Structure 1
Amino acid sequence: MRAGDRVGLFASFSPTIVAVYLGCLRIGAITAATHHTLSDDKLIHQLRHAGARVLVTDRIDNLASIADAAALAHVVALASTRERDARLVSFDAIDPSHVALPDRDFSVEQATSIFYTTGSTYAPKGVLVNHRIMMSACAAVTSYLQMGSDDVVMSYSTLASDYGVYNVLMPLYCGGTSVVELKAPESPEDVLAVIEREEVTALHVFPPVIFVLSRAAPAWGPRFKSLRYLSSSGQALHPKHIDKIRAALPNVLFYSNYGMTECKRISFLPPQELLRKPTSVGKPLPGVSVLLVDDNGSPIVEADRPGELWVSAPFTMLEYWAMPDETAAVFAVAPDGQTMLRTGDLFRFDTDGDLHYVARRDDIFVRSAWNVNPRDIEHCLASHPAVAEAIVVPVPDESAGHLPKAFVVLEPGQSVSDGELADYCRQRIDWHMVPIAFEVVGQLPRSQSGKSTRKGLA
């Protein structure tokens, strides 16, 4: 492999796949990781889209057919396989004495990774970043988190997402330790056991794990004695969950952050502000410029008026890999002449200049000529004593266009009728926001990266 070669990674998390990733960075290759639960068709599509020459995988079957379909030169098998093909190389059979690292023949501008998005768009896009972007992001985030060599950072993500990669790279950047759990927690005990065993000092998680932790009893607080801070990003936090965590962990710092695959970290809220502003993600990081614009692209300066967030930062992506039209569409020129990334997220400023997430532009739908923001309904439902989590989806309707339907997860031992939930909403939100149907589910769907998702709900 040489600098610039694309290398597909398709494996569950392990020290070996981390070593492979770091090795690719060292030689200037470009990684393109795919979540290990995806189908062969999606894997092949992403390999072909990235133009991968090599695939590193712990799969043990269909390797030759995948190599054929994706036009691969080599497949490096991390696990033992019975398949025989000239393109297959066993990782265990590689003799380290025959491996030499070439002299670095690339700069900090050399691309490092293609991260495929898993969020709001149906067709994943490949976000291209380079060494400069990744180092800048590591420096910025570890600085405000005050991460150091004594920190043990725990997460639940994989190398298939930028979030998972940075949760490995940032502790390495500081000389610390990374602990990655393979299975998402189902109870607070699942989290506590690892924190106690590994003496975890930092927890980097998405809000679904915050929801699990919110069920921890205040009496369990001493078991978190090693934990210094908790950092959450990826989607909005529910104030009720924040209150429960603060009651159980009063001495643990809680950072609420905002970022996206296209720009690693945009803003954060200092922990001391969280109780006063539970819905805020704070102010931009040093070196990050943001702008709120209306539908005409004109800047919004007044407080509490929603607009799309545009951002310029040292860690903004280079491009969407092999998607020039999509790349051109996502960048815009601000009135002051600087090029900015259009996030597609709607925010508002409060009177202190702190950002508050409003909605994903694509998530808003229309009911009888009225705009419906699913997040407002979800927050209303989550504030009900019997409701732990909620997601709202639009249901097509010939007359109204779309109607809101809510999927709810109940708190343990709780029950509530559809009528009670509807009445609760009517008392707190506008008529057009009240769901026309409710469905109780055991858990909400999660994306490959661990966020709650509307996909598959109808």
Structure 2
Amino acid sequence: MTAREIRRLHDSLLHHAGDPATADKPVVIAEGQRYTYRELLEAARRLAGTLQARGVRRGDRVAIYLDNGWPAVVAIYAVLIAGGVFLVVNPQTKSDKLAFILDDCSARVLVTDAHIGEQFLPLLDGSRLPGGVICSGECPEHRAISPFDAATCAAAPEPVEPTVIGPDLAALIYTSGSTGTPKGVMQTHQSMVFAGGSLVEYLRLSSDDRILCALPLAFDYGLYQLLMAVRLGATLVLERSFTFPAQVFARMQAEGVTVFPGVPTMFAMLLAAHRKSPLRFDGVTRVTNTAAALSDDSAARLREIFPQALVYKMYGLTECKRVSYLEPELVDQRPGSVGKAIPGTEVYLLSPSGEPTPAGEIGVLHVRGPHVMLGYWNRPDLSEHMLRPGRLPGERVLCTHDLFRMDEDGFLYFVGRSDDIIKTRGEKVSPVEVENAMSAIDGIREVAVVGVEDELLGQAIRAYVVLQDDACLSTGQIRALCLRRLESFMVPQQVVFVQELPRTPSGKVSKRALLESLAS
């Protein structure tokens, strides 16, 4: 199948499921269970018919609130076949945030699992989710809920494939923002098809690869492991998480994994396990990293575990999926670099006043290419902040607001972030969102949240807390209360009790002063 024939995100599945050479090849191995391309297309078509019967039409949004597993994979492709727009919501997301996302995008249907019913059941009253809920597992009794198995059985209605073209929306990828509320990154079929093709090209992947995915599908890095596998006619080895590394290692050996995508937290766990009992995966030929910088020392030690692998250092952001990569052969020659722009794209640095930045000087990174988002759903103000006028009339380029240096050979070096979004465990965390949740805890008068550098997490979340005069809360109590309101990765790893928070002359909390106090 040529790139010219892939115009929509699901075209690759249609092709491989209809090709005798790949139809019965495993597309996904989930919890040891094998599912073929043919089975994926059949299940996705049945669910697509059910979605259409529930009113999903071209461009309608369908939320997928599931753990990594077969139902999530089926749901993604079912939404695409139905002509809809999918959004994968992290299953750790709490009810309030889930409600915001569903309302923000006017989701028509929710595909979910019974084990997180505590979070979604309170949201089913009123006009939210007019198409109802399709639920995996033992479904609770509710007029709006129907079982996933029934929605994908042979009796499910046949879908009527709508006319969908490249510029149509394929997905909303929700990411945290400095405002404290998630924002939906709009990606079209053509932007995601292009991004997947560029990734496959520079990673030098093939249909013979077996790609591990222990990253959440709600994280675009995890999602693209699935999209790349299906594009290639390869196989995805899908794990729920990396919580139990020994289990993942056993699966890797048993299934012959060739591609290991990770974030620094995973690599730190991997290296810690290696120190206790040496690990070696000779079958892995590609190791990729993003989310936070992988130190040169860690990259070198990973070669002990993956002696046959090319190790890729990369930089990206949800608004364009991937920005740059460093050729593995240059890791030792270009220490600290995240490489050059991915194939088919261009990057450049500008000063705050919009002037080109000379080699070696710090500037704001801008990105051109077909992979750049269409904007943020329902947020023209934030879209305008990120999408700036380009070099051509009417063109829009992505202003990352991240600070970089570029050397004379065009290699990029990350300097820092110009906003206060925290990147921890491969996830973006809004300090405002954490502050709002903590401020609701009885006994806390004020709180300020910052990110501090951490070798394991990329950044650790540190909360500076001012207690009310009569309050008596411990760090453990605060973290436990946060866990009721926030996803686990958003819970502060560090809590520092202070008498007062530093402020600017205008009376705002000075996070700069807090960070400077860390450095002193």
Corresponding position of 1:53: 108
**Secondary structure of the equivalent of 2:323?**
strand
With over 3 angstroms needed to count, the CA separation of the structure-2 counterparts of 1:224 and 1:396, relative to structure 1, is closer
Return the alpha-carbon distance in structure 2 between the equivalents of residues 312 and 389 of structure 1: 30
Q: Which amino acid aligns with 2:136?
A: L
Alignment partner of 1:158 is 2:238: no
Q: Which moved more, 1:195-204 or 1:332-341?
A: 332-341
Deviation at 1:81, TM superposition (A): 2.3
Contact 1:234–1:451 at 8 Å: present in 2 too? no
Q: Distance in 2 between matches of 1:378 and 1:159?
A: 26
Q: 2 CA distance for matches of 1:82 and 1:450?
A: 25
Q: Does 1:12 align with 2:62?
A: no
Residues 417-436 of structure 1: pairs in structure 2 closer than 5 A? none
Distance 2:125 2:72 in 1: 23
Distance (whole Å) between structure 2 residues aligned to residue 160 and residue 361 of structure 1: 25
Deviations 1:250-288 (A, max 9, x none): 331101111111101111100011122232110112221
The Cα shift of 1:191 comes to 4.4
| SS of equivalent to 1:264 | coil
Task: Give the structure 1 partner of residue 307 of structure 2.
Answer: 250
Q: Are 1:157 and 1:450, in contact at CA under 8 Å, matched by a contact in 2?
A: no
C-alpha deviation, 1:136, in angstroms: 0.6
Q: Deviations over 1:199-250 (max 9, x none)?
A: 10001111211222223259846x3111111011111112221222124433
Count matched residues.
390
Specify whether residues 82 and 245 from structure 1 end up closer, same or farther in structure 2 by C-alpha distance, changes over 3 A only.
Answer: closer
Name 2:147's counterpart in structure 1: 90
Contact 2:112-2:135 within 8 A present in 1 as well: yes
Are 2:285 and 2:306, in contact at CA under 8 Å, matched by a contact in 1? Answer: no
Conservation of the 8 A alpha-carbon contact between 1:157 and 1:164: yes
Q: Is the 8 A contact 1:118 1:449 kept in 2?
A: no
Partner residue, 1:421? none
What letter corresponds to residue 7 of structure 1 in structure 2?
A: V
State the identity %: 30
After superposition, what is the alpha-carbon deviation per residue over 1:315-365, rounded to whole angstroms, capped at 9, x for unaligned? Answer: 111110011111111111245654211112111112321011111112499
1:51-450 map, 5 Å = 51-59=106-114, 61=117, 65-68=122-125, 71-73=128-130, 74-85=132-143, 87-94=144-151, 95-118=153-176, 122-185=180-243, 189-215=246-272, 216-217=274-275, 220=278, 223-303=280-360, 305-334=361-390, 337=393, 338-363=395-420, 378=453, 391=459
- Contact 1:208 1:450 (8 Å CA) reproduced: no
Q: SS state of the match for residue 155, structure 2? A: helix
Q: Flag the structure with more relative contact order, 1 or 2, with Cα contacts below 8 A and sequence separation at least 6.
A: 2
Distance 1:454 1:302, change over 3 A: farther
Report the AA paired with residue 317 of structure 1.
M
Unaligned runs of 5+ in 2: 1-55, 423-449, 466-482, 497-520
Contact 1:157/1:449 (8 A) holds in 2? no
Aligned residues of 1:214 and 1:242 also touching (Cα < 8 A):
no
Q: Secondary structure at the match of 2:294?
A: coil
Structure 2 match to 1:34: 89
- Give the counterpart letter for 2:174 in structure 1: Y
* Gap runs ≥5 in structure 1: 366-373, 383-387, 398-444
Q: Give distance in 2, aligned partners of 1:286 and 1:320.
A: 24
Could you tell me how far 1:126 is from its partner in structure 2?
A: 0.3
Distance, in Å, in 2 between the alignment partners of 1:79 and 1:363 is 39
The amino acid of 2:339's aligned partner reads G
Q: Deviations over 1:79-127 (max 9, x none)?
A: 2223231x22222233433421213312121111110014776322100
The answer on whether the counterparts of 1:10 and 1:33 sit within 8 Å (CA) in structure 2 is yes
1:289 is matched by which residue type in structure 2? Answer: E
Moved more, 140-149 or 248-257: 248-257
Q: Structure 2 length normalisation: TM-score?
A: 0.68
State the alpha-carbon separation in 1 of the partners of residues 334 and 315 from structure 2: 14
Structure-2 change in CA distance of 1:147 and 1:451 (3 Å): farther
Q: Root-mean-square deviation (CA), in Å?
A: 3.1
| 1:40-92, Cα deviation, whole Å (9 max, x unpaired) | 1111110000101111110353555312256111111112223231x222222
Superposed displacement of residue 390, structure 1? 7.1
Q: CA deviation at 1:389?
A: 6.5
Contact 2:220–2:318 (CA under 8 A) maintained in structure 1: yes
- Where 1:362 maps in the other structure, the secondary structure is coil
Query: Partner amino acid for 1:128?
Result: M
Distance 1:5 1:364 in 2: 30
Asked if the contact 2:324/2:342 (under 8 Å) is kept, the reply is yes
The 2-side partners of 1:185 and 1:64 are apart by: 27
SS of residue paired to 1:298: coil
TM-score by length of 1: 0.77
| Stretch moving more, 245-254 or 176-185 | 245-254
1:158 Cα deviation from its structure 2 partner: 2.2
Counterpart Cα distance in 2 of 1:287 and 1:16: 33
* CA 278–213 in structure 1, closer or farther in 2 if over 3 Å, else same: farther
Equivalent residues of 1:218, 1:247 under 8 A apart: no
Given that 1:48 and 1:70 are in contact with CA atoms closer than 8 Å, whether structure 2 keeps it comes out as: no
Q: Which deviates more from structure 2 when the two are superposed, residues 5-14 or residues 42-51? A: 5-14
Contact map agreement 1:32 1:47 (CA 8 A) in 2:
no
* Pair 1:335–1:16, CA change in 2 (3 A): closer
Secondary structure, in 3 states, of the residue corresponding to 2:205? coil
- Structure 2 SS opposite 1:344: strand
**Taking structure 1 as reference, are residues 160 and 364 closer, same or farther at Cα in structure 2, changes over 3 Å only?**
closer
Matched residue type, 1:160: A
Choose 202-211 or 112-121, whichever is displaced more. 112-121
Q: Would the aligned equivalents of 1:44 and 1:69 in 2 still touch at CA under 8 Å?
A: no
